[in-house]
A and B are shown apart, each in its own frame.
Chain A
């Protein structure tokens, strides 16, 4: 188990020297307790204390970076088994696999798609992260050429999948300085590969069936000087992956087996059901998912699922405050006030779009709180509404001065009228009733 802040504090120098960057030792202890600070930041700890505190405060799953530059990804550094317990922090990298036996055009087209395709949702740009190059040609120079074709690691993070040391040598000669993930060290070849990845400073995937075997192999590789590991449990079925991944994550979180504290690797193409495997990997602890090229529908659904699952449940996605036209509104369209809690926004959006009623959704910044909470917590106030009306230039959009507010905000109606000079209409509490309400009540 992790140590509580107060217990950690007892081991600190209690000098409030601020050299760690925090104003007090207690503040530093609290950051350590949640895995958000490094013990190394304290210059005055003796090695024993450092190692003791490091053991209990280091993230239970190691953060491993793959690739370099803008598109590089960091996976791991997770703290919980279920997202509701806190949150999942680092979404898995999805890597599209190409083979070095493919014609150049085909490889180039896949790489282009990975590079260029961006799905925009709720203010985030969602991308498939990188390319996995598989060695099937039996010709190391061809492998190296395909790696180069995939950008050589300088643009997209890469996974190099092979079994022949010569292939790795050739591939790393091209991409070795861009931290590609090398897949995979096994019981048979780990010594050579560990030495190779140590030389290039690359992350290494280790592959073995079962947690115990993985732990032993990972321990040996780490010992040999490759600290950045990824574990491939070599599952024989998708259900098997879910079960093993859960077991490994549980050991890592519980700190019962430090050698299992690494991100996991999943080959989503291994079972002939790529969509299911992608979903399972996203949901159950994969850090790196290698997949065959995806059709656009699968890609969009998978990226959306990944975004959903890696949303902080205690801090919901916020919608950017502003004025959102829906169904091509004109100057007589209603202005509908709401909050920037994403679920509220999406729910309203769904009903309003389906209703075909032209309107403006007027989103005030309640820091992501729902209407009920924002009203109760004093985040949605007449001042906020008045300021937001001005800021977003709402008055210029319409030729009326009527504002429809959510039913739960009814207690504010009088104050909003006073503060804005707009006439307030109190809408329903439930988004589902809004189209009906507008049909009946709205007359600009």
Chain B
């Protein structure tokens, strides 16, 4: 049974090919379309031959490797025109306008409907959906009459273009694509490679085939697949083969998903306003109707990547009581489970996207969110709940905002909100495992594990030649961007301020000098900086912009390094404050002996490894020492120097250089015995 069906489409296409072949051989006379500079456009684009007559057509057909689109076009050019309301071949002047709307984004994609629908109403619904999604739809075959019968208005103004009464007139869809590629895509006639590239990347198109195609028509429609156009079979008769069976109701969505066509939705259907303007509004206890987490109840949020088929886009499920089931002032448990799917989604992006939950919930007028992961605390205001806002609406808000902000990475989002205590508690351990896995992935990442670092040139506005190089073990010196963040930022905005930096050959493993990094920095610094070391402050240190969290500075008197953070306003033992130091080393210059760094870099294994790293640090402000606290102790213990923490001086134990010398001698700091830094 299955075999016979598989055979049927293939056989039909084979029959169709034979028929088209034969008609090509029999073709005679002059061939031309009116009002075009592109001869027979498909043939011209594929072969570079401007066909004028049947002999030329046969030659082009031969050269194209018996491409059926070429055959169909040549055959169609030999036939007469069509009656109004059909358009037939669309002249260049009209096409230029259509192409314009495609490039300028007012049309999101192209669709072709062929055959005769079993249900005119279902076909009408498809057309309505295509209009709503800003698709430009071409129609050929019985579908045109069916739609007219169902009362659908056709014409360019309605973005529904009836090409002709026979499905074979659908060939004009191909000549439209070919001409758009030549007019707008710079595709040269005869350059099949770039034609295919343009059709696949830019002209996002799909075909919906209703039943009733002849063998020849089926063969022609099938031939569109070489342009990367999926054929969706909406009805019986095309089972098996490469056509994708769809129910009419899901046809448009499937086509859009397959081609990555997206429509930006601006209005979110929830009874609350949603805007960055509300981000900072807090909800006080007395204004609060219900709260989740914050210590009163268990609560967490978790965003997970899922296979596409497991995510029903836009679906929001609430498990457990809704907010109107509890009295004002109550607390409910909460699990916010966000499942996302997307062809270009990666598990690495999970934490970055999850962090956006905080921002988006705060965008709601009357919803409030703090902290992250299993520490979240969410409130809905009395005012909002009175207006009809429910916890379900938070799900809708998240689903919409995530898709709108990350259109290239998220194709579908579904949100589950659990307010049932037992269930939330049951899921907590799974969530914590996921957090732990992620932490491990980031913290376990080593510079030698990757081939590509990332740059950040955001600060070039103020520091014209500054280039930050971000590695897994060396976050941006502002502390705000990790290697993963930079990678995601690059994926989301490929032309943006975070660019991939191929490491290239290692020049000096200890100093962290790489040939690829040097090449990149030279270019991105406009030729000002030739070499940088990622792990050294003496040899070609990285430039500093002005946003660094801390400054590491050499203290030559004690052969050590001090680290001072921005919040420390007093003088360092060097006799300079943070801001004096910052003023001297900032602006994008390389200053050996001084670098801007992030706080987290202090704890990295790569921290100034060329200068013996953390063991060389002799002074930090007390506030920084306290902030790094346990993590720094742990780090030192792992190095076998648990007592080093106490040997690092601060502004109390060593306010001046003289005090520092005395202090370090008293505690016998290891830096005193190390090789000289200068």
CA distance A416 to B590 in the complex (A): 40
The distance in angstroms between the C-alpha atoms of A9 and B574, with both chains bound, is 13
B592 interface residue per 8 A CB criterion: yes
In the complex, whether A410 has a CB less than 8 A from a CB of chain B is yes
Any chain A CB within 8 A of the CB of B19? no
Given A23-B575, A85-B464, A314-B546, check contact A9 B556 (CB 8 Å).
yes
**B538 CB contacts on chain A under 8 angstroms:** 6
CA of A433 to CA of B517, assembled, Å? 42
Is B593's CB under 8 angstroms from A24's CB? no
Contacts of A33 in B (CB 8 A): 584
Asked if B500 is at the interface (CB within 8 A of a chain A CB), the reply is no
Residues of B663-678 whose CB lies within 8 A of A:
678
* Bound Cα distance from A169 to B202, whole angstroms: 80
Contact status A24-B584, CB under 8 Å: no
Q: Is A44 among interface residues, defined by CB-CB distance under 8 A?
A: no
Q: Which of B276, B281, B463, B555 meets A414, CB within 8 Å?
A: B281
| CB <8 Å contact, A14 and B556 | yes
Q: Which of B427-483 contact A (CB under 8 A)?
A: 462-464
Q: Which of A6, A9, A412 contacts B280 (CB 8 A)?
A: A412
Please report which residues of chain A, range 215-248, place their CB below 8 angstroms from some CB of chain B when the two chains form the complex: none
CA distance in complex: A172, B590 (Å): 48
Choose one: A6, A30, A409, A413; the contact of B576 (CB below 8 Å). A30
State the Cβ distance, A371 to closest chain B Cβ, in Å: 13
Please tell me if the beta carbons of A27 and B575 are within 8 angstroms of each other in the complex. Answer: yes
B279 partner residues in chain A, CB cutoff 8 A: 410-411, 413
A6 near B593: Cβ-Cβ < 8 Å: yes
**Complex: how many Å from CA A30 to CA B678?**
15
Q: Assess whether A84 is interfacial by the CB under 8 Å rule.
A: yes
- For the complex, is A418 an interface residue (Cβ under 8 Å from B)? yes
A19 within 8 A of B: no
Give the complex CA separation of A416 and B587 in angstroms.
33
Within 8 A of A (CB), among B244-290: 276-282
Closest to A86 in B: B587
A407: interface (CB < 8 Å) = yes
- Cβ contact within 8 Å between A426 and B657: no
A410-B277 in contact given A23-B575, A27-B576 (Cβ < 8 Å): yes
Task: From the candidates A5, A24, A407, A426, name the one contacting B591 in the complex (CB within 8 A).
Answer: A5
Among A7, A33, A414, chain B packs the most CB atoms within 10 A around the CB of: A414
CB of B11 within 8 A of chain A? no
Residue on B with the closest CB to A416?
B280
Known: A9-B678, A23-B575, A24-B575. A410 touches B584 (CB 8 A): no
CB-contacts of A262-315 with B (<8 A) = 313-314
Given that A10-B678, A26-B574, A27-B575 are known contacts, is A414 also in contact with B280, CB under 8 Å in the complex? yes
Instruction: Kindly report which residue of chain A lies nearest to residue B656, judged by CB atoms.
Output: A23
| B83 CB → nearest A CB, Å | 51
Q: How far is the CA of A33 from the CA of B576 in the complex (A)?
A: 15
A414 to B573: give the CA distance in the assembly, Å: 41
Q: What residue in chain B is nearest A82 (Cβ atoms)?
A: B464
Please determine whether A24 and B574 come into contact, CB atoms closer than 8 angstroms.
yes
Task: Indicate whether B605 reaches chain A with its CB closer than 8 angstroms.
Answer: no
Tell me the B628-666 residues at the A interface (CB within 8 Å).
656-658
In the complex, the answer to whether A4 meets B546 with C-beta atoms within 8 Å is no
Q: A30-B584, A411-B280 are in contact. Are A6 and B678 (CB under 8 A)?
A: yes
A407 touches B592 (CB 8 A): no
B394 CB to closest chain A CB (Å) equals 18
Query: In the bound complex, how far is the Cα of B581 from the Cα of A86, in angstroms?
Result: 16
Q: How far is the CA of A4 from the CA of B541 in the complex (A)?
A: 12
Residue A22 CB within 8 A of the other chain: yes
Distance from B117 Cβ to chain A, minimum over Cβ atoms (Å): 47
Give the nearest-CB partner of A418 in chain B. B282
Asked whether, in the complex, the Cβ of B282 is within 8 Å of the Cβ of A414, the reply is: yes
Interface residue A49 (Cβ < 8 Å from any Cβ of B):
no
Whether A16 is near chain B, meaning CB under 8 Å from some CB there, is yes
Bound-state Cα–Cα, A407 to B276, Å: 8
Interface of B (DSSP majority class): loop
B554 contacts chain A at the CB level, 8 A cutoff:
yes
Q: Size range of the interface on B?
A: 35 or more
CB-CB contacts below 8 Å: B59-118 with A: none
Q: Is A34 an interface residue (CB 8 A)?
A: yes
Q: A4-B591, A5-B584, A410-B278 are in contact. Are A27 and B574 (CB under 8 A)?
A: yes
With A5-B594, A16-B557 as known contacts, state yes or no: A24 contacts B657, CB within 8 Å: yes
Least distance between A185 CB and chain B CB atoms (Å): 38
Q: How far is the CB of A271 from chain B (nearest CB, A)?
A: 33
- Interface contact B556-A407, CB-CB below 8 Å: no
Which of B277, B463, B581 touches A407 (beta carbons < 8 Å)?
A: B277
Give the docked Cα–Cα distance between A138 and B593 (Å): 62
The residue in chain B whose Cβ has the minimal distance to the Cβ of A26 is B574
Within 8 A of B (CB), among A406-424: 407, 409-416, 418
Closest to A415 in B: B280
CB-CB < 8 A to A23: which residues of B?
A: 571, 574-576, 656-657
CA distance A418 to B286 in the complex (A): 14
* Bound form: Cα–Cα A4–B539 in Å: 12
As a 0/1 sequence over residues 28 to 52 of chain A, the CB contacts with chain B under 8 angstroms (1 = contact) are 0010011000000000000000000
Expressed in whole angstroms, the minimum distance between the Cβ of A407 and any Cβ of chain B is 6
Q: Is A14 in contact with B557, judged by CB distance below 8 angstroms?
A: yes
Whether B592 contacts A410 by the Cβ 8 Å rule is no
| Interface contact B587-A426, CB-CB below 8 Å | no
User: A410–B657 contact, CB under 8 A?
Assistant: no
Is A314 a contact of B593 with CB atoms below 8 Å? no
Q: Kindly provide the distance from the CB of B448 to the nearest chain A CB, expressed in whole angstroms.
A: 29
Smallest CB separation, A2 vs chain B (Å): 10
Q: Is the CB of B280 within 8 A of A413?
A: yes
Q: Which residues of B contact A85 (CB under 8 A)?
A: 464
B446–chain A nearest beta-carbon distance, Å: 30
Known interface pairs A23-B656, A30-B576, A415-B282. Does A6 touch B276 (Cβ–Cβ under 8 Å)? Answer: no
- In-complex Cβ contact of B592 among A6, A14, A26, A429 (8 A): A6
- Report the minimum CB–CB distance from A443 to chain B (whole Å): 17
Q: How far in angstroms is the closest Cβ of chain B from A81? A: 12
Residue of B nearest to A407 (CB): B277
Q: How far is the CA of A427 from the CA of B229 in the complex (A)?
A: 46
Q: Name B571's closest neighbour in chain A (CB-CB).
A: A23
Say whether A6 contacts B278, CB under 8 Å.
no
Q: Which of chain A's residues 327-364 have a Cβ closer than 8 Å to chain B?
A: none
- Are the CB atoms of A16 and B657 closer together than 8 Å? yes
- Chain A residues near B554: list those with CB within 8 A: 6, 26
Set of chain A residues within 8 Å of B463, measured between Cβ atoms: 314
| Alpha-carbon gap, A26 to B571, bound state (A) | 14
In angstroms, Cα B538 to Cα A86, docked, is 23
| Distance of A254 from chain B, by nearest CB (Å) | 14
**Nearest Cβ on chain B to A191's Cβ, whole angstroms:** 43
- Chain B residue with Cβ nearest A27: B575
Contact with A along B10-36 (1 / 0, CB 8 A): 000000000000000000000000000
Contact status A426-B277, CB under 8 Å: yes
Mask, B483-521, CB within 8 Å of A = 1, is: 000000000000000000000000000000000000000
Q: Are A84 and B584 in contact (CB under 8 A)?
A: no
A10→B592 CA distance, assembly (Å):
12
Q: When the two chains form their complex, are residues B591 and A410 in contact, meaning their CB atoms are under 8 A apart?
A: no
- How many angstroms from the CA of A10 to the CA of B556 in the assembled complex? 10
Q: Could you tell me which residues of chain A, from 311 to 331, have a CB within 8 Å of some CB in chain B?
A: 313-314
Q: Which of A5, A86, A409, A413 contacts B281 (CB 8 A)?
A: A413
Residues of A within 8 A of B594 (CB): 5
Interface string of B558-595 (1 = CB under 8 A from A): 00000000000001011110000100101100111110
The 4 closest A-B pairs by CB, nearest first: A23-B575, A414-B282, A413-B280, A426-B277
Please, could you name 28 A-B residue pairs with CB atoms under 8 Å apart, sorted by A?
A4-B590, A5-B593, A6-B554, A6-B591, A9-B556, A9-B593, A16-B557, A23-B574, A23-B575, A23-B576, A23-B656, A26-B555, A27-B576, A33-B584, A85-B464, A86-B587, A313-B462, A314-B463, A314-B546, A410-B279, A413-B278, A413-B280, A413-B281, A414-B282, A415-B280, A415-B282, A426-B277, A429-B276
Apart from A27-B574, A426-B280, 6 more pairs, CB < 8 Å: A5-B592, A9-B556, A23-B575, A27-B575, A314-B462, A418-B282
